[in-house]
A = this chain, B = another copy of it.
Amino acid sequence: MQPHKTRIRVRFGDTDPYGVVYFVAYFRYFHIGIEEFLQHIGIPPETFFRNTEEKFGMPKVAADCRFFVPAFYGDTLEMHTSIKEIKEKAIVFQFHFYRPPDTKLCAEGSVTFVAIDHTWKARPLPEILLEKIKESS
C-alpha cells in the first residue's frame, strides 16, 4: 500500500518562540495523518478510536519521533502516513515528513495502537478494521 500523503501547513501555535516547529506539533500532525489515512481507506476515524457499537477501543500505547531537519512557520510539510506493522492485537502507524521541493527526510515517527474490549482488556484487532486495511493494500 502506498503511504497516504497529507499537506501540513505550519500554523501559529505549532512553533517554539523562535519560529521553529516544536516537537509537540509533530505528534498533533501524526493524529491528522492517522485520521486522513483511515478516512482514505473507508474507516470513519470516529469509529476507530472508540467504537461503542462494536464495543472496542484503540488506545495508543506508544509514540515516538525523531527530528532531523527543522521546519519553520510558513512551511508546508508533506506527511506520509502508512501502516508499519500489524500484530495480533496491535497496529503500528508510521510517519515520514518532507519539506518539498527538498527530498530530505525531516522527521520520522510512529504510533502504536492496541485493541481493547469494553473492559479495557487487550483483544484481537477487530475484523471490521482488518478487512478495510486488507482491501486497501
| A→B interface (CB under 8 Å) | 9, 11-20, 22-25, 27-28, 31-32, 35, 44-46, 49-50, 59-68, 70, 72-74, 111, 120
Contact = CB atoms under 8 A, between A and B. Distances in A.
7 contacts: A12-B17, A16-B73, A17-B18, A20-B59, A62-B65, A64-B64, A64-B65
Q: Report copies per complex.
A: 4
- Most chain B Cβ neighbours within 10 Å, of A23, A25, A72: A23
Given A12-B31, A13-B24, A24-B28, A59 B70 contact: yes
A107 B68 CA distance: 25
A25 to B, nearest CB: 8
